[in-house]
Amino acid sequence: MSNNKTACVTGTDRGIGLAITKSLLREGYMVYAGGILEHNAEMDLLAEQFPNQLQAFVLDVGSDESVMNAASLIKSKTSKLDILINNAPRSSITRFEKKADVSLFYILVGSKRI
């Protein structure tokens, strides 16, 4: 079953990311599934159940190189993504990001006071 729709899901090793991947595969999507584990028995099983619908790859969203490699892989396989689900956690937050989060929080809260 294929509906010519494509999706990319990150954080697919377990939990919500894995559940979303399964659901999209059942709906007929071609799924690009990025997870941190190099060997994942669940992904192997899904690849057997949904041949030609699943492209699993190692993805560490904390690594620019890993993200660029994932983008290159997906771009080499398809010209579009219908769905992008970024479920992968970031392992570290920089001081700049913390400051940006506080500033964004202030803007959102501050704008509601006006």
Question: Where do the domains of the chain lie?
Answer: 6-113
pLDDT in tens, 20-37: 999 999 999 999 999 999
pLDDT in tens, 48-63: 999 999 999 999 888 8
Domain 6-113 has CATH 3.40.50.720: yes
Q: The whole model's pTM is what?
A: 0.76
Q: Which residues have C-beta within 8 Å of that of residue 7, sequence separation ≥ 6?
A: 24, 29, 30, 31, 32, 81, 82, 83, 84, 85
Q: How far apart are CA 104 and CA 91, in angstroms?
A: 21
